[in-house]
Amino acid sequence: MNYEYYDLQHIKSISIADYLNARGMQPIKRYSSYALYNAPYREDHNASLKVDFAHNLWYDFGLGKGGSIIDLVMLLQR
């Protein structure tokens, strides 16, 4: 088997928007520096999940939580 090692900085550089798109999630609203999504891990009708393109970070205004792609993947895998 061929295993590749990724350090944390490499993983954190993976685009959150690209990751969500690959999972079939499209933004409800898109602006030049960020996009708003319905939070896929809870019932959300207000597009309260913000993804900041410049910093590659997310924040859920409904939960009051945010972070890197690692934090988002952990939340999605619950």
The string of pLDDT tens digits covering residues 17-71 is 999 999 999 999 999 999 999 999 999 999 999 999 999 999 999 999 999 999 9
Range of the domain at 22: 8-76
pLDDT greater at residue 41 or residue 1: 41
Residue 29 bridge partners (DSSP): 36
**Residue 33 tokens, joined:** 């520096």
Q: Determine if the pTM surpasses 0.75.
A: yes
Tally of domains within the chain: 1
Within a domain: 1: no
CATH number of the domain that residue 64 is part of: 3.90.580.10
Domain-embedded: residue 19:
yes
CB 37 within 8 A of CB 28: yes
DSSP structure string for 18-29: HHHHHTT---SE
Query: Could you give the residue ranges of the DSSP H alpha helices within 23-67?
Result: none
